[in-house]
Amino acid sequence: MDQGMSVPQAEGMKAAQMQPGDEFEFERTFGWLMHDANRLLLRVWERRLRGAGIALSLTQVRVLASLIRKDGRTQTELALAVGLERAPLGRIIDKMEGAGWLTRQADPEDRRVWRVYLTKRIDEIRPVLAACARDMFQQAFKGVSPQEADQLLTVLSKLKANLSTEEDENSL
């Protein structure tokens, strides 16, 4: 690989130079590794939650986690934060509200807008969620130095910013 070239640039060039019949190492590409790592993280996360007796779907846990970060989001904000369309999210919120996890309240400044809030029930599982996450990430980062972890987070943050900008531009 050219010394001045990043791994994604080199992989992109390798893919662009391929001819029909050339072997391509899909499992070594950035996108494949990201997808596979995410898939495995979700599986481990789900096993940890089930082992701790938390009977919520991964999507429901994402909703709770998003509201832990910022309680009182609008349903639209929450849909964007968890990566769901508003209608399916509305059904999930209905179910979670019925189970006592969430409550919806009209926005005081706009009657058409509903805000979603956590109930006190989150206090039952917040420490368990934190412990499950800590265990999962300890397993995931085994053998990774703190410097490597920091570098990974820095690169992923830059990628997210780059791709978020493109997504924002395309949504206009």
Would you say residue 82 lies in a domain?
yes
Predicted confidence at residue 2, as pLDDT, reads 45
Predicted confidence at residue 32, as pLDDT, reads 87
Predicted confidence at residue 53, as pLDDT, reads 92
Would you say residue 64 lies in a domain?
yes
Residue 63 tokens, joined: 């909703």
Predicted confidence at residue 111, as pLDDT, reads 86
Predicted confidence at residue 12, as pLDDT, reads 54
Q: What is the CATH number of the domain that holds 129?
A: 1.10.10.10
Would you say residue 79 lies in a domain?
yes
Strand partners, 73: 116
Predicted confidence at residue 153, as pLDDT, reads 94
**If the chain, 172 residues long, is cut into consecutive pieces of 10 residues, what is the mean pLDDT of each piece?**
51 57 68 91 92 91 95 94 93 96 94 94 93 93 96 93 72 46
User: Total structural domains in the chain?
Assistant: 1
Tracing tokens 């029909």 back to the chain, one arrives at: 20
Range of the domain at 136: 55-140
Q: Quick one: angle between helices 58-69 and 75-82, nearest 10?
A: 120
